[in-house]
Chains A and B, each alone.
Chain A
């Protein structure tokens, strides 16, 4: 049990410190790396409470895909310079009220959640599902998602699909000024299409039309 506690505090310490470092560090690429460290330690915490499926999915989706896209954007756009300029400009202070509002809302939400959990512990029993303990949590998750919540699950998938198609439609431009490769055309090319024999007279030359 004590080993469990030690490991828990190590992971949560790393998670909190790296979350702070995401905001504090001057270099944007470092911020993203700290964000990744944060994701990893949180997925370790998930695994520690027995939610191994969620932890692994967190690693695969957030660290393996989302954070890589973050890194791409940050590395390609050279945001770090812009960020430093932005911090020093007068423009940045105009956003402080909005940031304050958002952080106050999050703070109160946290107080409600933690307070409710601490002083009314039976509350979570009434709203959460009773999970059988003898099957793995991948199975129990599947049993819930694909039966009771199938419509919500499908809806979430639809929203993702629509947003993906929307992003593709908005950014896709088919360029007409480049040569495209068509395997079918290449394979179906015969000798007659490509090669032509010409009798060349002496001192005349050949006119080739391309």
Chain B
């Protein structure tokens, strides 16, 4: 039995070794997001708490913890409490399959990319449950909007993933990274990278697609009735999801933990650092988009998803497949 216990403890240690940094970095990127947003608008952003305002998120978290949690009297209490927990849990369990280096991955499963896709498609339940259980008009409308939006953009993300899989020939995330050793997929599949980036914005309800919480129309969307720590959990889950989408983008298109060039000054830097750099790069793009693009209208959003992105990515699947077949480059093993 001690061997069995040892195994469990080593697994728990590995999980904590991943999750604690993820949670801390979620708090840090909230600060980074606000800071980038402020710089674009020529403001200073949060700069009071700690050096450069670095501890702003910690102060915010402390504030949320000490606030009262208000549960509306007419809400559906069990589902109301479950919703932020589900959002948070789903945002964290997806990190299990992200490869940080050749060896450092908690679960190197065969269907890693499908797992990521499945978990990100389950993320809509936290929102839909929160919106319905609040038993109020604005949260409900917000959650309906958000569910329709996420389901629509998932379709195009799925087709984009098929593009990458055609070039790799495996659903394993480590295999996807290793297949980009010679050339990152962002070069041959550049249009797909752009569409993936925009779909990821829509999938995580980021501006310019933050219609579920468009404050001009819906107060705060599905989060309207939430307060205190439960609101903070929604918030953390949302940012963890954004980080996850950035990680997914860097694994699918930017070569994951691979260095950009395989010679001295680049390959001396350890591979997890490269992945973190790429995630941060994509995240800063996310915040820049938030700062410079105005919000979409809902019908435009749907039109973009179904009438432009879906046909384009399907067309690109046909192109990729024909190219690989014609030049006899299909990865058959």
Contact = CB atoms under 8 A, between A and B. Distances in A.
A-side interface mostly: helix
A119 to B, nearest CB: 35
B109 A52 contact: yes
B122 A33 contact: no
Contacts of A60: 114, 117-118, 121, 158
Contact of B151 (A3, A65, A75): A65
A76 B132 CA distance: 10
23 contacts: A33-B129, A36-B125, A52-B109, A56-B114, A56-B118, A57-B114, A59-B118, A59-B122, A60-B117, A60-B121, A64-B118, A64-B121, A64-B151, A65-B121, A65-B151, A71-B132, A71-B147, A75-B144, A76-B144, A136-B110, A136-B171, A138-B111, A181-B299
Given A52-B110, A52-B111, A138-B110, A68 B128 contact: yes
- The number of chain A residues touching the other chain, given as a range, is 20 to 34
Contacts of B154: 64-65
A63 interface: yes
Interface in A104-136: 136
Contacts of B230: none
A68 B144 CA distance: 10
Interface residues of B, number: 26
Interface of B: 4, 76, 79, 109-111, 114-115, 117-118, 121-122, 124-125, 128-129, 132, 140, 144, 147, 151, 154, 158, 171, 299-300
Contacts of B132: 29, 71, 75
A98 B154 CA distance: 39
A137 B118 CA distance: 18
Interface string A58-78: 011001110010011001100
B122 A64 contact: yes
Interface string A172-195: 000000000100000000000000
Q: What are the nearest 9 A-B pairs in CB distance?
A: A64-B121, A56-B114, A59-B118, A136-B110, A60-B118, A52-B111, A56-B111, A56-B118, A138-B171
